Chains A and B, each alone.
Chain A
């Protein structure tokens, strides 16, 4: 109780209704309700460009945004390992509160549990989110149509390289910040610029996974043009050293969308004028082809499969 009253509430609860009651009552606008939840276990807790608190807010906000929902409310559950410095917790919560404000969502309910030393890796966070989808708007992973163009809002792999760069023992001397960001306002811009059919954020498993999911769910084939896919030179170099593939690297502030070809230019321009979309690019096309197949046209002109990775990518031995 002390932890809640002395640390958590002042940072998160200021003016919000969570605390005394067992459940929060909320006014809800009309439209379809979108609901999602995700848990966050990143190590280290702080990395260039973000921390676990920011990640927990952005991750859930982005999952809502991918369905075309305007994010409204979040819940936040904390699992703390005994001995976690209070200052660490404060920093994480402050960051979560800041990014919730930035994303225009309220943290309206939450929970805190402390487990014994060795039973959790410092701090885990679960967030759930509620958003509202405008009447008539239909955006989903299964709605990509042949002819659609695929757009992405910038560089691949920044998040994973940023996290790897500060892992103990890896000594990766690169200066890349995580792209962790709430995508709701960018998505709103895209939706008002033209017809967006399918959207997904390429987090764990990277772009290759998301494209495969889209191809399978929409029963279409996708063709991706390697030369058009934005990858930062530092990220490319780090991947090379570690034997990793930028197409499989995790991102936390990217959206890939299948958009109507007639609206693609307008959507691209709108994205490029947004602060989170300066490097947006059209990277491929939805085709009729074999359902579920994602083909990459390499910069050398050959065609190869782009497959979903299995499990975690491990840096190579030699």
Chain B
């Protein structure tokens, strides 16, 4: 516990802020991960650093980047007979064309909030008369646990357990992002949890091909400040690890191996970024008996609110305040877009902690 304390040390943080401001440099930096966005908003770092760093939020909230079509599919699955849809709570309020999963539950669908895929597997074992579908949303952080659960389900012959895999990989999305014409970010704060799994290698292209310095960091204000200081003072673009207490350069090979055994890359639709080749995680044929994406379901056409600018927020093109719906039509109580739904969505972070309105 003392260990964490050291990284929350306000005195050290204040000194780091002075050090960053004292460099007299300016940089546009993107924090990719929603947990970083939340941590930055909560600690009030954005205004303190404003003279030196323009901090933009990126596409690192798995709920937010899930496409409307995928949400429509998840809701349609939940409304099939004899189904229990098990999901992380974050997904309950994301609107699709048929409303939200909460609405589906009110119409009679069985939707259960779980805290881990293993809990969904247990549910399947307790309710053999039902088909339990786990809604697999997340990045390389959650995917290994889902992979492990699928391996267990297969070994133990839990035939009524399924996964709808909407998992996504961060590095291909970052490539799509930096390829965009109007992309103006000069440095990346890379996610700590994802990197603990995949290590540094998958990000090297950002430094080598695009000349963008990157730092992998933790979630305490001191971590984030150190990362920013490193970005501002790096001589040659590289991928550095500030979060050495959790991230090894090689990542966690066991977790990666498990993930690769169960999933294979596929194209995936990202909200805001569109379809990105090789960024999705499809369940391999060996586990197809548990793959809910193979089921045929009818989904209504996706219309979307054309005024919703979650896509632009996710790419760092605009800040939440620049969206005409922010805090007016779109609030955490009645969200229009997913960035306002997820607890780590950029708009929810800004709404809860940053902007006075």
Contacts and interface: CB of A to CB of B under 8 A. Distances in A.
B14 interface: yes
B210 to A, nearest CB: 25
Contacts of B55: none
Contacts of B62: 317-318
Nearest to A227: B10
Given A169-B114, A234-B1, A317 B43 contact: no
Contact of A168 (B43, B119, B356): B119
Interface stretch (B34-42, B178-186, B236-244): B34-42
Interface in B1-35: 1, 4-5, 8, 10, 13-14, 17, 34-35
Interface string A40-82: 0000000000000000000000000000000000000000000
Contact of A169 (B63, B116, B332): B116
B160 interface: no
Contacts of B300: none
Nearest to A245: B42
B14 A300 contact: yes
A167 interface: yes
Contacts of A309: 332, 352
Contact of A240 (B4, B14, B90): B4
B4 A302 contact: no
Given A303-B44, A316-B35, A243 B116 contact: no
A304 B354 contact: yes
A171, A296, A317 interface centre (most CB from chain B within 10 Å) = A317
Contact of B44 (A227, A233, A293, A302): A302
Interface in A132-174: 167-171
Interface in B312-357: 331-333, 342-344, 351-356
A237 B1 contact: yes
B138 A317 contact: yes
A245 B43 CA distance: 12
A313 B113 CA distance: 12
Interface in A258-300: 293, 296, 298-300
A233 B356 CA distance: 30
Query: Interface SS of chain A: helix, strand, loop or mixed?
Result: loop
A167 B113 CA distance: 12
A233 B138 contact: no
Interface residues of B, number: 53
Contacts of B42: 245, 298, 304
Contacts of A316: 34-35, 90, 342-344
Given A240-B219, A300-B17, A314 B45 contact: no
Contacts of A240: 4, 219
Contacts of A91: none
Contact of B88 (A303, A313, A314): A314
B129 to A, nearest CB: 13
A30 interface: no
A224 to B, nearest CB: 13
A293, A299, A304 interface centre (most CB from chain B within 10 Å) = A304
Contacts of A314: 88-90, 92, 113, 343
B90 A317 contact: yes
9 contacts: A169-B115, A171-B116, A299-B10, A300-B10, A300-B14, A301-B48, A315-B88, A317-B138, A317-B342
Interface of A: 167-171, 227, 233-234, 236-237, 240, 243, 245, 293, 296, 298-305, 307, 309-318
